[in-house]
Amino acid sequence: MTAHRPIRTAGDLAEAGLIDASAEEAISRVASRYAIAISPAVADLIDRADPHDPIARQFVPDAAELTLTPEERADPIGDGAHSPVPGIVHRYPDRVLLKAVHVCPVYCRFCFRREMVGPQGLGTLTPAELDAAIAYLAAHPEIWEVILTGGDPLVLSPRRLQEILERLGAIEHVKVVRFHTRVPVVEPHRIDADLIAALKSSGKATYVALHANHPRELTGEARGAAARLIDAGIVIISQSVLLKGVNDDPEVLAELMRAFVETRIKPYYLHHPDLAPGTGHFRLSIEEGQALVASLRGRVSGLCQPTYILDIPGGYGKAVISASSIEAEGGGCYTVTDFRGNAHTYPPQG
C-alpha cells in the first residue's frame, strides 16, 4: 500500500505496520529524543515480512537507540569545534560545509548529526545568519569548494536554493559546489527541471554526493532521478555508511557499488559508522570493516572501489582506514598481497 505522507510518529509507524503496537511506548520515547521521518517512497521499499529488512533497519526507530555507550558523543565528528559562524564548518583549509537547513526528508537511525537535525534540531539559518555565512565565504579566498549539507539541502525549494547559489556564484574564488543529499533516492520525484536548474544556478562545477547504503535503494525511480541530474551536467559521487545488519556483507556491498556505477555514480566514500548516540547496534569493528572492504578488491571492478574512511572523533578530519596490501620488509623489499590473499615479494629500488 502506498502512503501519501511521511511517517513521523510511533502511531504512524504502528498504523503502517512497521512496528508492533506493543512497541509504541518505547518508540515514542525514542521519538522524543530523535526525529522520525520515512518518506512514502522508502515506506514502499520496506519488506514488512522480513524482520531483518535492511531498509527498515535504516529508517524504522528501534528501542536500542535508547542505549547510550560511554564512547558515544553528541557531536561525533566535531563540527562545533570548527564553526566560526552559525551554519559554517571550516575544518579543512580549502573547503567548508554550509549547513543552511537541519531538516531531512527521512531521518536515518544511525545519523551522525542526529542531535542537530530534525524539528528539535538547529533549525534553518535566519536571513542574518545566512548573510554572515556568505560574508565568511567571501572573506576567505582560500575557500575553493562549498559543500551544502545539513540536514539535506535539497529540501529547500528551488527558489530558496537559487537565491543561495546565486550568491555563491558571485564569489570568484569558490570554484566547486557540492550537495550532500538523500533526495534522489528517498523522494526521487522532486528531482525535476526546476530543482535541477536551481542546483546549477551558481555557474560553478556542481557535484552531488548521493547517500545510499543498500542496493535496493537504487530503484528505477532513484536511477531515473540520478540520470536527470547527470544528463544535466551534474557529477554524482556516492557516500555510504558501513552498517551492521544493512550492508556488512561482501555480496551486498559489491551489489551496492555495482548499482552506483551502473547508474553512472562514482563510488566515493564508505564511512565507518560514527560514535553517534544510541547507534551502537549499527557499529562493527574496524577490523570487520577492513575485511569487507578488502573483499571488494578483485570481486568488483576498480570503478566500484570506494575509499573506506573514518571521521576521527573530536573534529580532526577524515582518515583512510583500509588495510594496506603492502608491507615493508628489510633491505628495501616489500611484501604485496594480491586480491586472492597470496603474498608476493617486490624488489628494492635498484
Burial 73-97 (b: 16+ CB within 10 A, else e): bebbbbbeebbeebbbbbbeeebbb
**Residue in 99, 109, 113, 216 annotated catalytic:** 113
**Closer residue to ligand SF4 in complex, CB, 150/277:** 150
Residue position matching grid coordinates 555480496: 251
**Closer residue to ligand SF4 in complex, CB, 152/217:** 152
**Residue in 34, 274, 304, 308 annotated catalytic:** 274
- Total chain residues near ligand SF4 (CB under 6 A): 11
With CB under 6 A as the contact rule, which of the stretches 10-18, 75-83, 102-110, 295-303 interacts with ligand SF4?
102-110
| 111 annotated active-site | yes
d(CA 13, CA 11): 5
| 152 annotated active-site | no
Would you call 53 helix, strand, or coil by DSSP? coil
With CB under 6 A as the contact rule, which of the stretches 16-24, 74-82, 107-115, 225-233 interacts with ligand SF4?
107-115
Residues numbered 235 to 254 that lie near ligand SF4 (CB under 6 A) are none
User: Can residue 152 be called a binding residue for ligand SF4 (CB under 6 A)?
Assistant: yes
Q: What is the DSSP string of 90-144?
A: EEETTEEEEE-----SS--TT-TTTTTSSTTSS----HHHHHHHHHHHHT-TT--
| 178 annotated active-site | no
| 311 annotated active-site | yes
**Closer residue to ligand SF4 in complex, CB, 152/171:** 152
User: Can residue 282 be called a binding residue for ligand SF4 (CB under 6 A)?
Assistant: no
| 107 annotated active-site | no
User: Can residue 104 be called a binding residue for ligand SF4 (CB under 6 A)?
Assistant: yes
**Closer residue to ligand SF4 in complex, CB, 182/283:** 182
Which of these, 80, 5, 10, 3, lies nearest to 45 by C-alpha position?
3
- Least distance between ligand SF4 and beta carbon 76 (Å): 12
Which of 117, 137, 185, 253 contacts ligand SF4 by CB under 6 A? 117
CB 123 within 8 A of CB 256: no
Residues 6+ apart with CB under 8 A from 175: 144, 145, 204, 205
User: Can residue 223 be called a binding residue for ligand SF4 (CB under 6 A)?
Assistant: no
| 91 annotated active-site | yes
User: Can residue 107 be called a binding residue for ligand SF4 (CB under 6 A)?
Assistant: yes
Residues numbered 309 to 338 that lie near ligand SF4 (CB under 6 A) are none
Tell the burial category of 4 from Cβ atoms under 10 Å away from its Cβ (0-12, 13-18, 19+).
Answer: exposed
User: Can residue 274 be called a binding residue for ligand SF4 (CB under 6 A)?
Assistant: no
Report how far Cα 273 is from the mean position of its chain's Cα atoms. Answer: 11
Tell the burial category of 17 from Cβ atoms under 10 Å away from its Cβ (0-12, 13-18, 19+).
Answer: exposed
d(CA 262, CA 52): 26
| 62 annotated active-site | no
User: Can residue 108 be called a binding residue for ligand SF4 (CB under 6 A)?
Assistant: yes
Residues 6+ apart with CB under 8 A from 132: 85, 86
Query: Which residues belong to the active site?
Result: 91-92, 95, 104, 108, 111, 113, 274, 311, 318
Query: Site residues (CB under 6 A) for ligand SF4?
Result: 104, 107-108, 111, 113, 117, 150-152, 182, 211
